[in-house]
Structure 1
Amino acid sequence: MTTHAATGTPMRIGLVGAGPWARLTHAPALAAHPGVRLGGVWGRRPEAARALATAHGADAYSGDAGFDALLAASDAVAFAVPPDVQAPLAARAAAAGRHLLLDKPVATTVAGAREVAGAAERAGVASVVFCTLRFAPGTAGWIGEQAATGGWFTARALWMGALFADGEGNEFGASPWRREKGGLWDVGPHALSVLIPVLGDVTEVVAAKGPADATHLLLRHTSGASSTVTLALDAPQGAVGTEVEFRGEGGVATLPAGGGDALGAFRVAVDALSEAARTGVAHPCDVRFGLRLTEILAQAEAEAEVRTRA
């Protein structure tokens, strides 16, 4: 059983958010985790917070005073809200000494992500950014294997969804921030979270826009390898898919299919946060990594906009 570092009791984790992602993944994973007690649910919509909290036998909170009450009832806070709502609330939680289980991206501005990272560093709290493939049992080990193999010459990653297609009935398609920021910011963190551990940090970025919300990236990494990335949420139905491929001295390695079990991955992320809080050893996918993802994506966004205007 995972226990809270200071008390030896289950870690109390409060949930910020009551939308589809919180309802489908965060709340059920936290409520069922043997080493966790769901400290409560805070939502911007009181009725949604009440419904989700009631479903899992927890207290509901809303409003500014409610957020403070959730912090008082929690050792850590998990976030399932839009990134630029998440950032100031996460900085506030860190300042109150609460560990952070963040969603990706941490923020869509570098300033916002730096605020969270700075608050976490000053408070000395543990943090984990939930990039699904870094924690999903079907893919986390594979990423580690490719990093250990080395000798990669190049890689390509493709994340394409049809989130906004008519008739899809996808709840995430109603997300205003996803419509505004597109695939670059929603699925870009997934691609980078696989590429960077294997090829190293990004040193150069070239970006260009494609049709609809598609964005194409050409990246150079500290290992000397290059990678190409194609990202979209508004692709045609027939174009949907996720692919990652590394090519190098050892041949070709392809991301295993079926590695995106969000519930299982989130449980692993909870364990990672608890371990980081217990040991004081930062997790590789912590808020500093989340800040780096935001820096790269912001640079790509700016590059693509310049090319569009040219």
Structure 2
Amino acid sequence: MTVSIKSGTAHFFQRSTQQLTGLQAKADRLNTEIATGVRVTAPSVDPVASSRAAMLERLAADDGQYLANVKLASSLLDQSDAALSTMEINVQRARELAIRGASETLTPVDRRAIATELRAIVDDIYATANLSDARGAPLFGGAADGPAYTRAADGTISYAGAGEPAPLPIGDSSSIAAADSGQRLFGAIDTDANGDPRDMFKVLGDLVAVLENDALPEADRRTAMTDGLDGLGAITDRLAGARASIGARGARLQVEQGRIEDLAAERTSEAKALTGADLQQSIAELQQTMLILQAAQASFTKVSQLSLFDYIR
């Protein structure tokens, strides 16, 4: 009989302790919910919501990187557009000089003066073609790390880049070319009278050479100047086309940025709905839990003080 009573008493204490511990743990959790505004503080609280929230967090991290790439691509395209705009201004000035230089009334001194200004324009375009982008890489160097263009001892300017720059990912299955190689933009502009291909710097260099060559027969000079003007027209068209392409890509990036930001807001809202606490409900549940806990504690204290428990001890 005594063994049975002791066994029942031990079971009562174990069950009561478990109940009190569970109620206290629930009260602690509700207090944390109210303090932090977060309902799912651990996967065990709500495994389904926790799993979904973890997936949303991973997607948000991806979207954050995509958004950073969108902003970087926009910056690179803006820099390229500004550089091409500067080149357009210089090429336009070179065209004005070439038209003046084609006049048969000019003296050799006049032509050399025009050639000197053209050389300064070439220097400016060369410097612009060798700009570094926001990452410190050559803006028009393609996939290469060094300068996009180099200049030989005789003044000849050649492309030193290689390949095309890697596109930037801006979505799960989409990317964008944030820069263009100098070879794509300024190479193979046209062919000269002999059918030989010319890039932008060859066109400009040929014009300078013609204006500085006093011994060139007038007929050959006229042909060369016409060639030069045609080349400048081709450069102008190429630059305009490149800027139009940049504008189209920039517009696409604006759309992508809006899409990513809207999606991020939706995912944040969903994650909050999944894991966030309803404060009114949490407070009401905490009050109810505390009442139950207090009642359980009082009951346990009263029962544990009965003479039978004192006698058994």
Q: Normalising by the residue count of structure 2, what TM-score does the alignment of the two structures yield?
A: 0.21
Q: Which has the higher contact order (CA 8 A, sep 6+)?
A: 2
Greater per-residue strand proportion: 1
Q: Normalising by the residue count of structure 1, what TM-score does the alignment of the two structures yield?
A: 0.21
> Which structure has the greater CA radius of gyration?
2
Greater per-residue helix proportion: 2
